Structure formats: structure tokens, C-alpha cells
């Protein structure tokens, strides 16, 4: 890491320009949905210890590949949770910070690693970060849980350097629509198919974090179409440079539907990833 990057990284607590903060705040809705995963911190941490998770087998290897050109430069993970991805990237030689809205998850992240600096912050108010400080920012399965997506994209743009990269990973919005998508099986043709009952309409969905349990904990997730994400990124000064669709690594157990199910896993991707570059409001490279 160059001296310029290192010196800037040490001065993270200087606030960004007031104008940027006001612009983001103007998007704030009248009411807010509960989006923090802090109340299920125990479950989430336990889930990530499984070596067969999508985080370990699919998402992290791809994130490492996409961030390889940024090695040695300062990176921020927005919505880092208990720090799984930040830890994996730090072990891989990246210089990275993490932030999350949940104090409970940030406490756990700090307990797992002293190589990464963590901050409690909402994605639309990264007040710990100065303007134009990061070479890249990532949001791994967190954008779909952010209510103020436009303001969050604006903040990501503010903290990124000119030509900085913003990499997001979301549940594929065309195939995984909460409450409006499901698997089906055509017995006559022996085909596993994906059923969609809606797509273009944006939606806020209340999610039961403990199905079947007596004590209930809920959070909200937000379905948005591809054009919703594209418009939010464009309004924040980003140009999409790359889009990738990632499939499941899993296979079905032996049975009459195994072949059809395994084919469907390869045809319907679980995740959509994008890489966007920070550009000027007029659409010209800074």
C-alpha cells in the first residue's frame, strides 16, 4: 500500500462533505422498517461456521477474484455483519474496514479479529468515513436489506475515490422474489422449474427469522427489480462495468428428481453480482 493510501486510511474519522450527507438524508422515508440482524446474531454466527455455506463455497471465492486488482488498497465492506467476508479478505492480504448497522454483530466482528477496523453505522450514514477514501466498497447480501437504497448508494459513492469500484452481491432479483417465487416440478416432463408470481413491483417483506419457534424475531427484506438497482446506482454516479450470475455449488441426494434438480440449480442462479465504477454526475469519468 502506498504512503498516500496509508495516510488517508489513518484519517478515517474526518467527516465527509456536509453537502453529501444532506443529499443522502433527503431520501429518508417517513417510517423505517426493522432491518438489523442484531437480534439473531447467535444464529447468524453459528450458520457461518458451517463449511458448506454459500458464503464459503460460492460468494467469498468470487469476491476475492473480483477484488484481486484492489489488493493493497483500502476497501470498505458495507453491511459486514459479524465480519466473515472482511476476515477472509484480510487473511488474503487485503486492507479492509467493515461497517454494519447492528452493534451486536459489530461486537462479534471485533471479537473475531484485531486486523480489521469495524464501525457501527447505517449504510446511508457512514459518518466515520472521509470523502474519497476507499479504492473499493463491497456490499455482500446486504443491499437487499437496506430500505434507503438510493441514499446508501450515494454514501458509497461519497467515500469512494474517483474511478473507485462498488461491488454488490444480492439474491438474484429475477428468480428469488420473497413471497412471489417458488420451485415446481413438472411430473410429465420430469423438469424442475422456477415459478414467478411477480417481479417488477418493488416490495417490502417481513421475514420470520425463527420459523416454527415460539419466540419470534422479524426483519425486513426488500425486493427490487434490476432496473431499480440500475437507477439507484446511476443516480449515485456509478456506471455498471460488470454483471455476473452465480449458481449453487450443491447437489441433490439420490432420488427420482436428482437429475432434474441438479440441472435446475445450474440454470437458475442464486446470486447476482455487479461491479460499478464511480463516475461524474454527468456520466463522464472523473
Pairing outcome for strands 181-186 and 117-120: unpaired
CA 210 from centre of chain: 22
Match domain 3-278 to its CATH number in 3.40.50.150, 3.40.50.720, 3.90.850.10, 3.30.470.20: 3.40.50.150
User: Three cell numbers at 26?
Assistant: 433527503
For residue 241, give the H/E element and its range: strand 238-246
Q: How many percent of the chain have pLDDT more than 90?
A: 71
Cβ neighbours of 36 (radius 10 Å)? 17
User: Three cell numbers at 105?
Assistant: 454483530
Cα(262)–Cα(206) distance, integer angstroms: 30
Domain boundaries, the chain: 3-278
pLDDT of residue 113: 85
Beta strands per DSSP E along 94-226? 95-100, 117-120, 134-140, 160-171, 181-186, 191-196, 203-208, 218-223
pLDDT of residue 32: 53
Whole-structure pTM value: 0.81
The whole-number average pLDDT for the span 36-45 is: 53
Encode pLDDT of 45-102 as tens digits: 555 556 678 999 999 999 999 999 999 999 999 999 999 999 999 999 999 999 999 9
Q: Contact 216/208 with Cβ under 8 angstroms?
A: yes
pLDDT of residue 4: 45
Cβ neighbours of 215 (radius 10 Å)? 5
Cα(38)–Cα(264) distance, integer angstroms: 34
Using alpha carbons only, give the angle 6, 10, 12 rounded to the nearest 5 degrees: 120
Pairing outcome for strands 117-120 and 95-100: parallel
Amino acid at each position: 500500500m502506498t504512503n498516500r493510501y496509508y495516510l488517508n486510511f489513518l484519517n478515517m474519522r474526518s467527516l465527509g462533505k456536509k453537502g453529501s450527507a444532506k443529499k443522502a438524508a433527503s431520501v429518508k422515508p417517513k417510517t423505517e422498517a426493522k432491518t438489523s440482524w442484531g437480534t439473531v446474531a447467535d444464529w447468524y454466527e453459528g450458520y457461518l461456521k458451517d463449511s458448506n455455506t454459500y458464503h464459503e463455497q460460492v460468494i467469498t471465492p468470487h469476491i476475492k477474484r473480483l477484488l484481486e486488482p484492489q489488493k493493497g488498497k483500502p476497501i470498505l465492506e458495507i453491511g459486514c455483519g459479524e465480519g466473515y467476508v472482511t476476515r477472509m479478505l484480510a487473511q488474503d492480504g487485503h486492507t479492509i474496514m467493515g461497517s454494519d448497522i447492528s452493534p451486536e454483530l459489530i461486537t462479534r466482528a471485533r471479537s473475531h479479529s484485531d486486523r480489521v477496523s469495524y464501525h457501527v453505522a447505517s449504510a446511508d450514514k457512514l459518518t466515520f468515513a472521509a470523502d474519497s477514501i476507499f479504492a473499493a466498497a463491497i456490499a455482500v447480501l446486504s443491499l437487499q436489506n437496506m430500505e434507503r437504497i438510493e441514499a446508501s448508494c450515494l454514501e458509497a459513492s461519497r467515500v469512494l475515490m474517483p474511478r473507485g469500484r462498488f461491488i454488490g452481491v444480492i439474491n438474484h432479483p429475477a428468480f428469488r422474489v420473497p413471497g412471489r417465487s417458488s420451485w415446481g416440478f413438472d411430473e410429465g416432463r420430469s423438469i424442475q422449474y422456477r415459478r414467478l408470481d411477480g417481479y417488477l413491483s418493488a416490495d417490502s417483506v417481513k421475514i420470520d427469522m425463527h420459523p416454527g419457534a415460539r419466540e419470534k424475531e422479524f426483519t425486513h427484506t426488500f425486493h427490487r427489480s434490476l432496473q431499480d438497482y440500475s437507477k439507484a446506482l446511476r443516480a449515485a454516479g456509478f456506471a455498471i462495468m460488470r454483471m455476473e450470475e452465480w449458481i449453487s455449488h450443491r447437489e441433490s441426494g439420490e432420488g427420482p428428481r436428482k437429475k432434474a434438480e441438479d440441472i435446475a440449480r445450474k440454470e437458475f442462479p442464486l446470486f447476482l453480482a455487479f461491479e460499478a465504477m464511480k463516475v461524474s454526475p454527468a456520466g463522464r469519468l472523473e
